[in-house]
Amino acid sequence: MDIDLARRGQFESVVDVVYEPLQRYFARRTQPADVSELLNDALLVIWRRLDQLPADDPLPWSYGVAKRCLANHRRGSQRRLRLVGKMIERAPRDSVALGTPMAEFDNPRLEAALAELDESDRELIRLWAWEQLEPREIAVVLDMTPNAVSLRLTRAKKTIVSSMERQNVAAAGQEGLGHRREPRP
């Protein structure tokens, strides 16, 4: 009985630390309707694997759990979408109305710059910018070395800056205003 109480107390103290950060993590990466389900899934995994949880800093490890729960959720969603796609193919064309996806960012230039990165580098940037994790913590989430995280993070930031600078040059130049220089004879 004492073991169960101790385990419960340990879990509750971990939940106090990870609940809100994981909730924000999911809210930034999925639809609002899916956040509580994903959070529950992550907390269930944390409960089941409580003995594997690092005692000194449970948050990065918990982000790793959340990342895998989100990946499982996305795979399930993709399976459902494929099924819906098959159903749409068999249904009359005028009976289905498809919605448009929500924009992830309010800044179209930043969204375009992030789109140039592959998904793993976008996730690395999100963990750094949104979750404000240090490279050593990101390394735990992504199961990488801190050095590899630092290198990839530096490279991803440079790619974003370069892309946004290219967008600024295009928008600031005369050609961006619809003017063209005539070639000299």
Which uninterrupted H or E stretch holds 136?
helix 135-142
pLDDT tens track for 63-91: 999 999 999 998 887 777 676 666 656 65
The whole model's pTM is what?
0.57
Please calculate the CA angle 168-125-156 and round it to the nearest 5 degrees: 60
Predicted confidence at residue 86, as pLDDT, reads 65
State how far the Cα of 59 lies from the Cα of 133, in Å rounded to an integer.
Answer: 10
pLDDT tens track for 2-32: 678 888 999 999 999 999 999 999 999 999 9
**Residue whose C-alpha is closest to residue 126's, from 74, 63, 39:** 63
Three-state SS at 150: helix
Topology of domain 1-102, CATH: Rna Polymerase Sigma Factor; Chain: A (1.10.1740)
Q: Label residue 160 by pLDDT band (50, 70, 90).
A: confident
Judge whether residue 50 has pLDDT over 70: yes
Q: Label residue 175 by pLDDT band (50, 70, 90).
A: very low
Burial 80-93 (b: 16+ CB within 10 A, else e): eeeeeeeeeeeeee
Domain ranges (residues) in the chain: 1-102, 103-185
Spell out the CATH class of 103-185: mainly alpha
